[in-house]
Structure 1
C-alpha cells in the first residue's frame, strides 16, 4: 500500500501553529525520565509519537520547555480535579486539544469530556489516538472565528451546569482581537460557575517566537502577550479572575528569582496559568 498520501496529510496537519502540538507531545512522552518529580505518566504520548515517525530530539534539547509542559499539565489537572470535585457530572472541554488526552487524568466515571481543534488536527488525532468511550467526544472547531461556543453545542443557560474549559498553549498564537473575542464568548455564554484554565505569556514575547528554543522549529509566531491582568476580564462583565498559578518558578535557582521578580515589577506573569470564572 502506498503511504505517500498519509504522509502528505500529516505534513499538512503539522504546519505552523498546528505543529506546536509536537512540543507537549514530546515532553509528555519522554519528560518523566528527565524530571521524575514532575512526571505525568501519559499513557498515549509515546505511542502517538511512534506512529507519527517524526523526530523530536530538538524539542528534548530544550529542558526548560519540557519541564514547563509537565508542570503546567500537573497544574491544569490539579485545578480541574478541584472543579470536578464540585461538579462531578460536569462537562470538560479541551479547546485546541492537539494530541493531548487530559481525560486519562480527569475521568471521574461520571463527568463528560470533549476534545476540539481544527479539522486537520482532529483528523490526525483520530489516526493516532484511541477513540475513547461514550463520555468522550470530539469536534472540529476554529477558535479564531466567533460562534465556536454554539458550534460545539456547549450549554448556554446561565443557570445550567457549569463547564470546565482548558485552553493550553493556544492564546499566545492568536491575535489580540481573537483572544478578546474568545474570552467574550466564554463570558457571554458559559453557565455561572464555569471555569476557563489557560496559560499566558507576557507581552514581551509577542513577535519573538524565533527566540524560543522549541517553538522556533515550528515556524509559528507568538501574536499576543498579556500586558495587564485586566485584559483577562475586560472582554465581558461576567468574567472573574479566580486565581493565578506559577509554572516555571521551581525549575531552577534562576527561575525561582526571575519569574516572581518579573511578576512583582510588571504586574503580569512572564509565563503562568490563569483560572477565569463567570459570575451569575
Structure 2
C-alpha cells in the first residue's frame, strides 16, 4: 500500500480550518481518514505541506473544470488517485471520471468510497508500465475525443526515465486537445525525502525533480506547456519575496503544477 496517500487525505480533511482562503470542502476526506484510523496528527505541524496540497487540489480541480467546459461530457482520469474523490467536484451531470491506481489501493478504496454513478469508475493502473494507456482504455487513435489526465503527488517518486516514458506516451497517443496535468518538485528535492516533515515517516523517496522547463516537452514533439502554477506562492511573505530569486537561481520553481497539452502541427 503506498504509504504517502494518507498525507493528501489528512491535509484535505483538516486543512480548511487552517487555511480557509484555500478551503476545498472535501465532503469525504474526514470520514475516510477516520475509517482507516488515522487522525492525521502529524500533519498540523507541517503547514507548508497542507498549504501545498490544498492549493494543488484547487488547481487540478480548476484545470479539469475548465477542460469539461470546453468538452462537455469529456473524460477525466485521475492517475494515482489514492483516496481522493474528485468526482464530487467534477460531476456536472455529463462528465466521466476514472480513478486509477495500483490494485491494492483500489481494493481499499472500494471499501471506503462507494461509487455512486455509472459515469465514475475505477481501473487498476501501473503508470510505470509501457501499456498504461491501454490499461486505462484511452482512445486508440489520435482522432478520438480529447481527454484530461492528471496525476497528483506521484511523479516525484518515479525514476526520471519512467517520467519521460510516460510523457512520451501521452505525446504519441493523446488526441489533439488532450491535457496532462501533474505536480513536480525541483531537482533539489531528489534524495531528500528524509528532510520532508511528512514524507520522511513513510519511507518513500523523491527520485525525480525538474531541472529545466524544457524537460517537460522534450519527450515528444506534440507536447506543449500550457501553464505553470507555483503552488507555494502566497503562503507567506518569505515565499512571495524569495520565489523570483529561487526561480532565477534554480531555473525552475521549487514546486509547481504544470499542464501539458497534445497538439498537432497544424495547431501550433
Alignment TM-score, normalising by the size of structure 2: 0.96
Partner of 1:5: none
Tell me which of 153, 166, 177 is aligned to 1:182: 166
**Separation of aligned partners in 1, 2:84 and 2:247:** 29
Q: Which runs of 5+ in 1 are unaligned?
A: 1-12
Determine which of 146, 161, 168 is the counterpart of 1:162.
146
| SS of structure 2 residue aligned to 1:177 | helix
Secondary structure of the 1:144 match is coil
Whether 2:125 is the aligned partner of 1:141: answer: yes
Partner of 2:242: 258
Match for residue 220 of structure 1?
204
For the 8 Å contact 1:113–1:135, the answer to whether it is kept is yes
Residue 30 of structure 2 corresponds to 46
CA–CA separation in structure 2 for the residues paired with 1:89 and 1:117: 23
Structure 1 position 157, deviation (Å): 1.9
| C-alpha distance in structure 2 between counterparts of 1:79 and 1:275, whole Å | 8
* 2:110 pairs with 1:126: yes
1:26-65, aligned counterparts within 5 Å?
A: 26-65=10-49
Aligned mates of 1:260, 1:153 — CA distance in 2: 41
- State the Cα deviation string for residues 246-279 of structure 1 (Å, max 9, x = none): 1111001111122232123322111001010001
**What CA deviation, in whole Å up to 9, does each residue of 1:52-109 have, x standing for no partner?**
0124211222011111111111111111111111001110000000001111111111
Is 1:19 the counterpart of 2:3? The answer is: yes
| Higher deviation after alignment, 242-251 or 257-266 | 257-266
What is the number of residues matched between the two proteins?
A: 264
Secondary structure of the structure 2 residue equivalent to 1:120: helix
Q: Is the 8 A contact 2:10 2:39 kept in 1?
A: no
Q: 3-state DSSP class of the match of 2:99?
A: strand
Q: Distance in 1 between matches of 2:77 and 2:123?
A: 10
**1:45 shift after superposition:** 0.4
* Residues in 1 aligned to 2:3 and 2:100: alpha-carbon distance in whole angstroms: 16
**Aligned to 2:42, what secondary structure does the other structure show?**
helix
User: Structure 1 residue runs of 4+, over 3 Å off?
Assistant: none
What CA distance in whole angstroms lies between the structure 1 residues aligned with 2:127 and 2:258?
A: 18
CA RMSD across the alignment: 1.0
Cα shift readout 1:181-232 (whole Å, capped 9, x = no counterpart): 1111111111100001100000110000000011111110000000011111
Task: Kindly indicate whether residue 225 of structure 2 is the aligned counterpart of residue 241 of structure 1.
Answer: yes
